[in-house]
């Protein structure tokens, strides 16, 4: 029997194609990140088979179809359809406070006021707006953490009565799964005059460019930009927005924006339980660590 001679060309072409395919996967699909995600998922599944200590002071209250039906049919003492008015959440706050919850975090966004919601009758026969009732319960309990994603500024009526804000923004991986969360996010809080101008003229505050001596605001859907002069402290002339006839007592200049650090909601909850001081956290991103201090020298 005669053996056929080995032909290196087809083998070489096959290897070349395989190398090209692998190269494309590495370049386009971030192969090593995907590999890390796969091994991470495997480690998490394996961890479920080992006993772990469970917190006894943490509870999760969720709203499902049975909750919606109970509120809709009035079996809980009041009757509302979707979407629930703020009164419902105010009642939840009051109940949790009565049960002596140390902190309660709401993973629900209250981004605006709802004057269209029905009034709430108080025990003395008076009536209060649903938003006002919610704010009242926030102030009484003083243990509520409200969700913030930076998409919109929460009403002062809520933020001034809540205990704190907790970041609830998410950044899913390329496969759509959520595996990690930012410890904190620094949000830019725009002056109300900027917010009003953005709503009226379609300005993109998220796409703003902060440059020395000016803030450049692009107009959504056009190539137009609005340039607002500012000083070294990012203060602007109020007259540029409302004219030269300022109301009595109004300052001629105001800060265009402030930066607010909002810690991840779970960290805010843990800080309340462990008495940790988030306001004076030592953040060292270069070394990959965050140090939180608490009572009695706890770190």
Q: What is the pLDDT of residues 190-225, one digit of tens each?
A: 999 999 999 999 999 999 999 999 999 999 999 999
pLDDT at 4: 54
What is the structure's pLDDT at 2?
55
Does 93 or 13 have the greater pLDDT score?
A: 93
Domains of the chain: which residue ranges? Answer: 65-186+260-297, 192-255
Q: Do 216 and 207 touch, CB atoms closer than 8 A?
A: no
CA–CA distance, 32 with 10 (Å, rounded to integer): 29
Residue 188's Cβ-count burial label (10 Å; 0-12, 13-18, 19+) is middle
Percent of the chain with pLDDT over 70: 90
Over residues 84-104, the mean pLDDT reads 92
pLDDT band at 260 (very low <50, low <70, confident <90, very high): very high
Q: What is the pLDDT of residue 21?
A: 62
Span 41-62, average pLDDT: 85
The DSSP symbol for 203 reads B
Determine the Cα–Cα distance for residues 274 and 281; give it in Å rounded to an integer.
14
Instruction: Say if residue 29's pLDDT is above 60.
Output: no
User: DSSP class of residue 117?
Assistant: S
Coil vs helix vs strand at 3:
coil
pTM: 0.79
Comparing 19 with 211, the larger pLDDT belongs to 211
- The CA radius of gyration of the chain, in Å to the nearest whole number, is 27
């Amino acid at each position: 029997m005669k053996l056929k001679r080995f032909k290196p060309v087809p083998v070489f072409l096959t290897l070349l194609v395989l190398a090209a395919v692998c190269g494309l996967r590495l370049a386009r699909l971030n192969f090593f990140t995907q590999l890390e995600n796969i091994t991470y998922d495997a480690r998490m599944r394996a961890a479920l088979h080992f006993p772990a200590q469970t917190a006894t002071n943490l509870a999760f209250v969720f709203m499902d179809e049975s909750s919606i039906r109970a509120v809709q049919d009035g079996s809980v003492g009041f009757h509302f359809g979707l979407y629930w008015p703020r009164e419902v959440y105010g009642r939840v706050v009051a109940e949790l406070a009565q049960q002596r919850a140390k902190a309660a975090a709401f993973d629900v966004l209250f981004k605006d006021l709802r004057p269209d919601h029905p009034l709430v009758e108080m025990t003395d026969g008076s009536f209060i707006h649903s938003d006002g009732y919610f704010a009242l319960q926030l102030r009484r309990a003083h243990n509520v953490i409200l969700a913030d994603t930076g998409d919109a500024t929460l009403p002062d009526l809520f933020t001034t009565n809540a205990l704190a804000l907790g970041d609830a923004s998410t950044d899913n991986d390329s496969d759509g799964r959520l595996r990690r969360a930012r410890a904190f996010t620094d949000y830019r809080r725009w002056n109300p005059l900027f917010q009003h101008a953005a709503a009226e003229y379609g300005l993109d505050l998220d796409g703003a460019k902060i440059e020395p001596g000016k803030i450049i605001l692009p107009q959504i859907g056009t190539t137009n930009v609005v340039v607002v002069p500012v000083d070294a402290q990012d203060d602007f002339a109020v007259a540029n927005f409302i004219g030269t006839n300022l109301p009595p007592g109004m300052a001629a200049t105001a800060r265009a924006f402030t930066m607010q650090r909002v810690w991840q909601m779970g960290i805010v909850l843990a800080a309340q339980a462990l008495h940790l001081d988030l306001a004076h956290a030592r953040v060292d991103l270069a070394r990959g660590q965050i140090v939180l201090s608490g009572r009695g020298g706890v770190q």
